[in-house]
Each structure stands twice: as C-alpha cells, then as structure tokens.
Structure 1
C-alpha cells in the first residue's frame, strides 16, 4: 500500500453518565459545519452549515433482536480525535493525492456498541460499531431518519422494489410530497436552497445496502432489504432469481465489527459535488498488498453495437475472427482491452465455450498485440463455478471479468461482491460489476474492482428515448459522487431529438458527437468503454484518436463551471497534459473561461467541438488547433445536446 500518513489524535476524558446533559458538539476542520448529538434514550443529531440549520433531530439507532442500542444504554463516554493525512490511491479516479481531514466524535455506550460521527469540510457521516464481547446477533432493523429543517427538492431515483439494476432517472420531487410508500435507491440528492446534499453510504460489507423512502414532513427514512433465505432461478433463466423467502432480520452478524457509514455530503456550489471524495475516504482500508499489476484503461466493447462490423471479409458475430478484429482495432489505437460479452460461453456453464469461439486463441492473439481480454459472466453461474472458472480464466491469461445481473444488495449479495473481488485479485483479474448497486467502498479495499454500472447509461438508447442531455448532466452530481460509473459512452451515430429513433441492433445517441466525446473527460471510470462498432470508429478517425488519447485515471481535477442539469466544464491533468470536457443541456449554449490552471508554459490545444450544423445533424463536428497558455481564455459554442473537448499538450 502506498500511503503518506500524518495523524493527530486528541483524546478527551469520558463524558457524563446518562441522565446528565449528554449533549455533544462536533465541528468540521474549517468550523463551518456543526453536528450536535444528543443521547437520551434515543440518538438524535442536528447539522448546521454556515450558522444555518440543515438537519434537525435526525435519528440513528440499531435494533439488535428486540433491543434498541440507544435505549438500552445506561451510560455514555465521549472520545474525540482529529485526523490529517495524505492518501495516494492505487487507482486515482480524480486525484493522485487525496487530502483527508476530519474531526471525529465517538460515543461509547455501555452495551458493547459505539457510534462515531465524522465532520469533514464537505459533509458529515456516522456509523455504529459492535465491540468485542457483543457476541453473535441479528440486526432486526436499523433506524435512520434524515430530517431537513426546510422544504427541499429531492432528486429521487424511484424504485419498484429491492430487486433492481439501480438504473434510474433522478426525478425532482418536493420532500413534503414523498411518503413511505415511495422507495429510492442511493445515492439521492436534496436541494435545500443554500446547499445541496447527497445521501449515500460507504464501508458497506456483510450488511444490506441502505435505501430511502419518504417520511413525515421534510424527512427521509431508511429502508433495508431483509436477508434472502431462499431463492431460485426463474424458469428458463440463468440470471433472474425469484426471491422465495426472506428473514425477519437484516443481517446475522457479530462483534467486533464496523457497520456502514451513513453519509451526508454537503455542497454550497454544485461543482463541489463533482470532486467530493467521502465515499472513498470512508471506505475500508486497502486489503490488496500488491496493486502494481492493476492496469486501468479503455475497452472496445461488443454488446452495445451488436458486433455490427462492415467492410470485412468474414461474417461478423460471436466468433474468433470478430474478436481478433476487435483486437486489431484496439491495438491500432492503443486501447488496453477488449470485452467478450454475452455469447462466448454456453449460458449456465462457464467451462463450456460456445461454437465458433476459441477463447485461448483470442487471448493469445491479444497478448501478441498488447491487448487484454475481459470476459463477461452471469453472477449466479460464477457463484456455482467460481474456483474452477476463475482458475481457467487465469490459466488462459484473461485480464478480468465483467460480472452481471446481481440486481440485489441484501447481506449475502453484498458479501458476494467482496468474495468475487478477493478471489479475482488472487488471480490478478480486474472486475467490472454490472446489474449492480452503487459503489459503497469496495473499490478502495480491493482496487482491482475498477468500475461498476448501477447507472442509467448509453445502453438504454437501444430500447428507449429518455437518455437526454439533462439526464447526462444530472448523474455526475449524484451517482458519480458514490464512485466510478460504467455509463459506456462513445456513440458514433448521433441524433438530435427530432431525428432520433430507437434501434436495438444499430443504436445511436440522443446528443451531439462532441457531447459523447466530452464524457471521456467528465465521466469517471478507470475501465472506460468504447461502446460503438470498431467499423464506425475506423470511419471516424478524428473522434477515435481523441478518445484513445484520453486517460482513465487522473493526477488532478478542476471544475471550471458546473450546474446540475445545465452544464459541466471539467479540466483534468494526467502528467503534464491537460484535458477539458464541456457538456451542455438541450439548449444551444455559449461559454467563456480562463485557462489559469495551466500555470507557466505554452500548450498545443487540439479541440473538437460541435460543427456549425450540429443542431440539425448531431454528428457534425469541427477540429481545431491553437497555442494557449495560462493567460489564455477560451470561448466555446455548444449546439443543443452539445459538447466540446480539448487536449492540451505542454510544449
């Protein structure tokens, strides 16, 4: 592990026994956020930002059997500490160095449980801990009520139930109109006017994921899927399960253990949500001792474009010749990987290759070209054949796996993710989870887990028309705060709304070409897909060369300008080069910004923007080159659903 650590501890004497005041206050390092905690038969907390109340009398409790952890406590003692350290993540999604700075208050109850609150400059979090001596127990429920002082607008990813791919739109709804029957997955954003908050969790392990429902007034109340005791595959399915019986508890567990962090990320400006790192900082420490073999990169992906190759002398499809062609394409542009998606194995048996596929030959061919091969698998089949299948993949020399269709986050499914991550790491395999819940800390513990879905991405254009520019400008502020998202960008067939049409086998984007290119700079995914056909990319050389040049990990990130649902302009640095991406909503836009972040020196800036006819023909784009410096300003014009990207190479 690569850490530079400086920790300052401030220990405070035990607090008074219950029955006294039992009120505690915690401040963020900058003093602008305050958390007030009261323990008097209940654990209640309130949060104020810049002197203005944000949350009031929010509730935190665990029900262990029939026992409330808060009510059963007869005394409480307090301990405080302050932490300052610099982290060097194995996979730098936003920054190669992350400053961690927080103040922490831990309240020790006399029933072998504690609750810890942390205050950062950009949010607060709390979690319960079961100490050694608490024994084995069932968590029958967890009470987490988040009560806002004022009326707010929730961006609500509404769900129909706990079995879900968590690929939802963020529907604006006044908090006061949400009731307990309306369920949402995380993360979820609440616009409180002066500040925006995103609610999510991290450190999720051996425990169900948290969901939210409406509550009385301006509140949200946690919901959790109960443990699955019996499930079976639906008839004629290798992936979709019928949940036949659930327990009357959330988790069977025991101490000592740490429960997940409940996060309230706070932003005074929308741009702050795009650089918030609380999901990573509150995750468990890295468990992989050797991460040097992990290679982030870009992937030529087959499924979205339905293997639609043209201008070739073989029949395209799920066969060895097609994937060798993908490898040739990847090698030509320096892409690190290709993906073999559904069809390469006989469904239900990972040990039996499909007709016309020779995976070993494909992997060997890729090795000659320095292109790795990632293999798609259905989660349930992998569960049954894990050791044999992963051993075979490793023997073949595969680079990683894409695990799909989990669609749950109950206790056992969450544990499945951790088991896959660990077993894959033992064999030096990368992991991409699809059909998954949001990131919640696993990627820090096991950095071979490079990305995951749990986002309504480009694949939906194959069957729907609701992937709008506004949607694309909402998910980075909410879903991406939780961690990398495998949106799978890169459509080379582009349309405006009036000429967009749905085609499952020959899909298109409902945005401009430059909007698609900008996603490679703005959207974070250390394993980033090229979703379209290699034949289309070869036809569109300027776009493909730009995509190929964009890194998937970054040393530095600057948000030039951003507004939820409206626009994003992001600048990122890798080494001495900078990349800038701009995405706009459904209206034509103009922006001007300075390049002061470049510092000293001259740069050659190559940009791709919307062409003069992009408002009617979304694929129209223009390529320009000019010399710039930190004193330069840039003016850009975006078509409806438009974008702009640039690479700045230091001279």
Structure 2
C-alpha cells in the first residue's frame, strides 16, 4: 500500500524559505531520523538522529563532460513526497519477508534531472535521477560525508599499487577520521562510530552500469569523500593465470549513459545498537526488484569444496588430485550427508588459455555429472572472469545442457562501469540457462541478490582462505566479530568456513595443504549461524569431517537460508550472537574475539513451547587446544536464560528443536 503525499503539505516533507535558498525536510516514519536538503548556490544535505547532528551540511553534485553540473545553481521545478508501506519477498536470504516502510521526497530540477531522498527508520539514502534521452558522459560525482567531530572509522583499504584494481579483501583499520591514510582509498561498506552508541554504516545500493564508490579522506579532517574509477578504454589479458583483463588506459569520465535512468543509492545506515547492523536488510530494500520471473529452479545449499585443503584426502586407493576418482569421492561424501553441491575449483580447465571449453584430460565432465545426478548432487564449475566473459553464451549453453548447475566466477577484481556491466550481463545469461552463480574476486553485493536471486553468494570478504598464507599477525578472530557489522550489511558473504583443525592463540601457523583456522572449533561452527551465506562451503577435507561426526552432522544439517533472523547481542570487534529460524527449528550462534567472556542467551525470542537444545560450546581446555569442545542437550522455554562460557577466540552454536 502506498500513501500518496500532497505536494509540499505532508508533515515529513516541509519546505522553508531562507535568505540563502530553500530547505526541504524529510523525516523517517518513526520521526527519529531527519534529513534537511538545502537548495542554494549548491545543493547540500544534513542528517540528524533524535535531534543530534550526525552528518553536517555536505555538498552533492554530478558533473557531465559537457560542463553541466547537477547541483550547482540548480533551478527547482517542484518537490513531491510520499510514504510507502509494504513487504518484499526474500526467498534466499536471512528472512522470508522484508518490511519496506519509508518516506521519500523527490526534488525535480530544470535540465531533466532530479534528486530522490528516502528515509527509513534505520537509515537514509539518496540518488540522482536523469530524464535525459541522449547519450552523455559523467565526468565525476561529488559524494561527501562531513561529520561534526573527529569520529573513529573502520576502513578496509584497497591493497596493491593500482587503486582501481583489487580483490575487495582486507581487514579493517580503525582510526579517527583525521588520521585516515590520505594516500589510500577504502572500498565499501565503511563504518563510522558517531559516539553515544550511534554508528553509521556508509555503503551504496542498486549499483548498475556505473562504477562502484570508494571513500578517501576528505578536505576537512573529519570528512570522507567518494571517488570512482574512470572508464577503461584499453585493457589487456593478464593478471592471475591470464584470467583477467588489466586496465592500461582510462577515459576522462567515469560513466557513459544512454537514456533515462536512476543512479546508485548513497546509503547511510544508522543505529544505536551495534547488533542491528548484523541483520540489516536496508540494501536489499533499496535494490531493484527481481528480474528472474521463475525462481523454482534456484537451489541454495552447502558445497563440498576442495581447493582450501588442497584436494588433501586420505584412506583411498588412488592418487588424490584433479581427476575423476577424487571428485567421485567428494560426490559420495556429499550424497552421504545431504550436501547439495560439489565444486570443481581451479584446475579442471586447461591452465592459462582462458578457454572453458578445454578440459584437462584427467577430467571426464559428462561422466562426473551423470555420477552426481544419480546421487542427487549438483556440480558447480569454477571459472576465471575473462574465460567466462569471452564466450559467455556458448559456455553457459554448453554446460547447462551437460547438467552443470552453476559457476563460481572469479578474479573480476574491479568495479568500474565496464566490470559492473559484465556482472549484469553474466547474471542475465546465467539465468536464461538456469545456472546459479557464486561471485568471487567481487565487490560487495549492493542488493544484487534481490535483482538476481540466482546469484547465491558473493566474496568481497577477507575469508578463511587467508589463513593458508598469512601468519598470526593477521587477526582473523577479531575480523570475524567485526565483519558482520560492516561488510555483511551489504549482503551475503562467501567466507568459506568449516575448518576442523582449530588453533588456540599462539598455536596457529599457515600450512598450505593442511590449513588450520584461528580460534576454537565452536568458533567455526558458530560462523554457519552468524554469517549470511545462502551457498555455504564446507572448506575442509571429507577425510577430516569423517573423523568429526558430531561437528559434521551440525554443519551438514544447518540450513543456508532462513525464515527469520534475530540479533541477540553484539559489539563491533568484540562479540556477536544471532538467532535464525527455519520452519519450527531455531539455530543460535555466538562468537567472541580473543577475550574470553560469559555470554547469556535470553530465549525470549522463541515462540511459546518447549525446545530441545543441542549445544556445542568451548571445552574446558579450548583456550589451549582449539579443537576441544563439549556437546550437551537440555530443555529450554522462552522464559529461560542460559549462561555460556566462551574461550579466547571461541564461540558456541546450538540447535533448538520444538517438541510437539
């Protein structure tokens, strides 16, 4: 249902005249957030929460290569506002339905452009809208966040020499805004601690045919400004395994635009409780609706994955590696435990030729697919970006006809307009052939999982693969209790958890073929509850899982999509606890950083009834031996509380079955 507002008369859309220009005010449905847009010599906005200024008057504009600047000396045509209340289906997400309630104001200007501001109870977003019909080029977009004080910010900086080419993977650097690195830029999302329990998560949504936004230190000591990759004009095949296109020259503009369109949303999610960020669906609400009409063929689930543990299996009578015997072993393991997929990662196609039609002689794909089909297991193929792009239609048609269920596409490592266009083209093509996608070497989802629900997962996260080569100076445990409040705000994460070798603090070391995780076994189990991941990997070897039957049963049995998610508790960088429901069954997961702590679970989120709780918690010696855990059962009701001890780098996971 949409409640249409009367022009300039709604209480949440107020026009005032001042000596400097015109001010427009829009409030969130609960009245706690308010944005003021000032149209004068320049267009600016400011954001308040409960009357406290969060973002000072900040300019916004868009400059075309013709010299026209939207936002400078702008001539208003009109201002219209409305309130919307509805729901959005989210079938492969953290909840089955999403409440969509906002107030919106649209400022239209002479020159065929407009600004759209949208206020939710949990955030504000704005975007430019163009009604131009002709082809034009965007030279730059001014995005600025001026803060009233020198707040702390959590920034994931781009790694490497090229600021526009990277894997969107890094830990978070926390520092006051004035001390951020002025020579580096951060990819989104970014978190700003505004004091007084308020946090602002800055990101973007509905990123289509436009470069992704990065943030750099602004001109003032307490500001951040947006920067964008210029459009590529010349690329060459190269990079990792010759599977990328490296940009050699760029144009003096960031985007080419043909015809009317809306540009990406600039998003500021606001909360006074850290835990709420971990179950956010704001970018999903802001994304374009699904473009896939029939979704019955889309199958989320878990994946037996071989790359992380280097195809390292034991107790078999063949040489393990990239061959049919090995993959039949993985298929048997998946079928035995109800795991939906097996992935053939890097190595099944001929190396360095970027041609997915050339399969190595050790692999007979038709035979493997037939073997997997007979056991109701799907096969997903890994593909380097350039190999996939250069012959996309033929590749999708050929492998869909063979019975392949999807692709894990990797090493895009850019988000300029050219690469964003590739992502949409890949999504549209894969959908036509009923192929699911898992996008690695990829920027944040930005709500793309709503527009194309068959894209089941995205990397853009500093995942568990990092422990294969990084020493203990890379603190994965602290990252694990930070990323849910920042990167996960933007959508699903293919972190690839599930390690069975678990190292207590001081015992970790990188081993490529027998990798281990930092933290405890229960920390790894809890990640399956805490992290949103509709296509979820089992990163360790079937040989290791078969030694750990209790842990395997929990991982194999846990759903990957949910009817409901509830944030129980959390603080950025310290701890988190989340409950998720599938049908009548609930799961709860909790994580801590390297501080041991007592965590109380309040079961009041449960519907009435009695539940059998199966609990995995850190063992008495988990602080010395990370694999130590205890499994116990008890009965709980909504009125109960349970105190659990989490070791350093620890966690807990529980399954709650309702007794009938």
Post-superposition CA distance 1:175-210 (Å, at most 9, x none): 012364231100000001121011000110000000
Q: 2:234 — aligned with what? A: 230
SS at match of 1:45: strand
Deviation at 1:622, TM superposition (A): 1.1
SS at match of 1:87: strand
Using the size of structure 2 for normalisation, the TM-score is 0.96
Q: 1:176 — aligned with what? A: 178
User: Which of 314, 319, 322 does residue 315 from structure 1 map onto?
Assistant: 319
Q: Find out whether 1:463 has 2:469 as its counterpart.
A: yes
Deviation at 1:567, TM superposition (A): 0.7
- Where does 1:60-209 land on structure 2 (aligned, <5 Å)? 60-65=60-65, 66-71=67-72, 73-91=74-92, 93-131=93-131, 133-160=132-159, 161-178=163-180, 180-194=182-196, 195-209=198-212
Using the size of structure 1 for normalisation, the TM-score is 0.97
Deviation at 1:497, TM superposition (A): 2.5
Deviation at 1:471, TM superposition (A): 0.9
Aligned-partner Cα distance in 2 for 1:539–1:647: 21
- Where does 1:120-519 land on structure 2 (aligned, <5 Å)? 120-131=120-131, 133-160=132-159, 161-178=163-180, 180-194=182-196, 195-215=198-218, 216-234=220-238, 237-347=241-351, 348-465=354-471, 466-519=474-527
Post-superposition CA distance 1:331-358 (Å, at most 9, x none): 1111111100001111321001112101
- Say if 1:205 and 1:414, in contact at 8 Å, map to a contact too: yes
- Say if 1:54 and 1:150, in contact at 8 Å, map to a contact too: no
- Where does 1:500-579 land on structure 2 (aligned, <5 Å)? 500-579=508-587
Post-superposition CA distance 1:30-69 (Å, at most 9, x none): 0001100001131100001011111111121100112111
Deviation at 1:467, TM superposition (A): 3.8
Shifted more, 598-607 versus 232-241: the winner is 232-241
Post-superposition CA distance 1:568-597 (Å, at most 9, x none): 111111000000001111021112222111
* 5+ long unaligned stretches in structure 1: 1-5
Q: Find out whether 1:606 has 2:610 as its counterpart.
A: no
Q: In 2 relative to 1, CA 18–398 (structure 1 residues): closer, same or farther, beyond 3 Å?
A: farther
SS at match of 2:2: coil
Q: 1:3 — aligned with what? A: none
Number of residues of Structure 1 aligned to a counterpart in Structure 2: 644
Deviation at 1:74, TM superposition (A): 2.4
- Say if 2:302 and 2:340, in contact at 8 Å, map to a contact too: yes
* 5+ long unaligned stretches in structure 2: 10-14
Shifted more, 271-280 versus 528-537: the winner is 271-280
Aligned-partner Cα distance in 1 for 2:240–2:549: 43
Deviation at 1:380, TM superposition (A): 0.3
Aligned-partner Cα distance in 2 for 1:16–1:617: 65
Aligned-partner Cα distance in 2 for 1:73–1:588: 56
Aligned-partner Cα distance in 1 for 2:642–2:613: 11
Q: 2:631 — aligned with what? A: 623
Post-superposition CA distance 1:122-147 (Å, at most 9, x none): 0100000001x442100000000111
Q: In 2 relative to 1, CA 640–575 (structure 1 residues): closer, same or farther, beyond 3 Å?
A: same
Aligned-partner Cα distance in 2 for 1:176–1:199: 17
Deviation at 1:17, TM superposition (A): 10
Q: In 2 relative to 1, CA 236–445 (structure 1 residues): closer, same or farther, beyond 3 Å?
A: closer
- Say if 1:72 and 1:111, in contact at 8 Å, map to a contact too: no
Aligned-partner Cα distance in 2 for 1:20–1:563: 42
Aligned-partner Cα distance in 2 for 1:422–1:174: 42
Aligned-partner Cα distance in 2 for 1:85–1:127: 21
SS at match of 1:461: helix
Shifted more, 236-245 versus 207-216: the winner is 236-245
Aligned-partner Cα distance in 2 for 1:237–1:346: 11
Shifted more, 171-180 versus 7-16: the winner is 7-16
